[in-house]
Amino acid sequence: MGSILIKNILLDGQPRNVLIEGKRFKSLSAAAGAVAQTVIDGTGKALLPGLYNMHTHAAMTLMRGYGDDTPLERWLEDYIWPYEAQLSSEDFHRGYELANREMAETGTVFFNDMYFSLEEAIDVVAKSGLRAALGLVVLDGHTHSIGPEVLDFLKTWKDPTGGRIRFTLAPHSIYTVSGAKLVRIARAARENGLPIHMHLAETRTEVSNCIRDHGMRPVAYLDSLGLLGPDIILAHCVHVNEEEADILAERQVTIVHCPCSNMKLGSGIFPYEHLIKAGCRITLGTDGASSSNNLDLREAMKFAALLSKVSASPDLLSASAVLEWATVRAAEAFGIDGGVIAEGKLADGILVDLNNVKMQPCYNLVSNFVYSADSSCIAGVLCDGKLIYQR
Ligand SMILES: [Zn+2]
């Protein structure tokens, strides 16, 4: 079992010696003379929890900057789907490598993915050291959409990472997967103990088409199909009214807010007030690098906090609350025993460089990290008890 001692690192306002044994934090106040296989000097650094990117399409790093400045429907149909149809396994592998590297360098320790070429994704995550929930994507008419045989693959699959990889069933959306198929996917997910990950209520067009085709808005439609529950993760939820916010809270759904993607595609403004007041579980995502245009979740925290102030009020979403969206709320959604720095929890975390000019002066560490920092302030990243990135 490996061990790491981080000496003299700032944690909860105090310099501490943090001891990691195996995958978990053994002690947050170890003696200076404690012994470990690896010793890291934490002087001038602070320890914060690692970030959870709850909605992305990792290998879309291949399409970063491609088809920019077009609305969602045209962007998907004219640019993204035709491009994806031509991608080979090797292409996907390169896209996943680029994504995993970018996420590790920007403080992400977990990503909830919805993309193609599962075997390439598994291979890259096994090597990168990150945690991931890999979505088995269903998208009617798409070249890379999976079929029912993938569930047989999962039954015999042996995890090469000791628990860092998990799976979801990922029907793309209500406008790309039929209602009957959504019901079958939900049944298969629940029989196999897999969460469901999909897009919902991203644009006004999606809402008006749903009313036209099904006589109800997207939240009511998914509820009528029996999909809403604590095991579903819904990306976007931009066009959700107060009544729908109450339904999402009551069903204990996990919502993923992707502020950069919503702004860039002109999808709309997240209904912060409705969803926070209803008591919904809210987490954060970047969405794919072709719509955000990076996988930097710290940047998503800043945009979410700023947008909440413009659209609602300056005190609705604090820096510490948005950090919880980006960490512990997401860990809870997946039942991962992490998302916080605490003894016994999984040893994931970010070593923040306090000597970086963007971190000085430091009246409030979390506030600086959310509003002022950039990835140059990240000196190292721990995941599953290993140092997966060091600047
Ligand atoms: Zn998406």
Q: What percent of the chain has pLDDT over 70?
A: 98
Q: Give the Å distance between the CA of 74 and the centre of ligand 1.
A: 15
Cα(319) to centroid(ligand 1), Å: 24
351: β partners: 47, 380
Instruction: Name the token pair of 54.
Output: 């709850």
pLDDT 10s digits, 363-380? 999 999 999 999 999 999
Scanning the structure block, which residue is given the tokens 């640019």?
79
Q: What is residue 367's predicted lDDT score, i.e. its pLDDT?
A: 98
DSSP summary character for residue 371 = I
pLDDT at 91 over 80: yes
Tell me how far the alpha carbon of residue 358 lies from the centroid of ligand 1, in angstroms: 31
Please state, as a whole number, how many other Cβ atoms lie within 10 Å of the Cβ of residue 21: 17
- DSSP-assigned states of every residue in 256-281: EE-HHHHHHTT-----HHHHHHHT-E
For helices 89-105 and 118-128, angle between their N-to-C axes, nearest 10 degrees: 30
Q: How confident is the model at residue 139 (pLDDT cuts 50, 70, 90)?
A: confident
Is residue 23 over pLDDT 80?
A: yes
pLDDT higher than threshold 70 for residue 45: yes
Distance 264 CA to ligand 1 centre (A): 13
Report whether CATH 3.40.50.150 matches the domain 51-334: no
Task: For residue 262, report the distance from its CA to the centre of ligand 1, in Å.
Answer: 10
Q: Is the pLDDT of residue 145 over 70?
A: no
Q: Mean pLDDT throughout 259-284?
A: 96
Which residues, 6+ apart, have CB-to-CB distance to 240 below 8 Å?
201, 219, 248, 271, 274, 275
Residue the block writes with tokens 């009214």: 241
Reduced to 3 states, what is the DSSP secondary structure of residue 78? helix
CA of 115 to the centre of ligand 1 (A): 9
Ligand 1 geometric centre to CA of 303 (Å): 17
How far away, in angstroms, is 103 Cα from ligand 1 center? 16
Segment 200-217, tens digit of pLDDT: 999 999 999 999 999 999
Q: What is the pLDDT of residue 154?
A: 80
Decide if pLDDT at 5 tops 70.
yes
Is pLDDT above 80 for 148?
no
Tell me if 347 sits within 8 A of 20, measured CB to CB: yes
- The counts of H helices and E strands in the chain are 16, 16
Question: Is residue 100 within 8 Å of residue 130, measured between CB atoms?
Answer: yes
Work out the average pLDDT over 145-149: 67
Distance CA 147, CA 156 (A): 16
Two tokens at 53? Answer: 């990117």
Where in the chain is CATH 3.20.20.140? 51-334
- Mean pLDDT, the chain, rounded, equals 95
pLDDT above 80 (res 151): no
**Ligand 1 midpoint to CA 120 (Å):** 19
Q: What is the pLDDT of residue 65?
A: 93
Distance, CA of 97 to CA of 128 (rounded, Å)? 8
| Backbone dihedral angles phi then psi of residue 82, each to the nearest 5 degrees | -60, -35
Tell me the CA–centroid distance for residue 35 and ligand 1, in Å: 45
DSSP 107: T
Give residue 143's pLDDT.
Answer: 67
Place of tokens 């002087």: 43
Mean pLDDT over 43-56 rounds to 98
* Residue 242: partners with Cβ closer than 8 Å, 6 or more residues away: 274, 278
| CA 48 – ligand 1 centroid, Å | 27
pLDDT exceeds cutoff 70 at 149: no
Q: For a pLDDT cut of 90, what percent of the chain falls above it?
A: 90
Distance in Å, CA 226 to ligand 1 centroid:
22
Cα of 57 to ligand 1 centre, how many Å?
A: 6
The owner of tokens 């945690």 is: 131
Q: For the structural domain made of 3-49+339-390, what CATH number should be given?
A: 2.30.40.10
Q: Which part of the chain is CATH 2.30.40.10?
A: 3-49+339-390
**Amino acid making up residue 333:** A
Query: Which of 51-65, 148-162, 289-303 is the least confident region?
Result: 148-162
Helix (H, G, I), strand (E, B), or coil: what is residue 111?
strand
Residue 75: its pLDDT value, please?
A: 87
The pLDDT of residue 156: 85
Task: State in Å: Cα 215 to ligand 1 middle.
Answer: 25
Centre of ligand 1 from the C-alpha of residue 287, in Å: 5
Whole-Å CA distances, 377 to 90, 122, 259, 373, 374 = 33, 29, 22, 6, 6
CB 104 within 8 A of CB 46: no
Reference 379, options 107, 131, 111; nearest CA is: 107
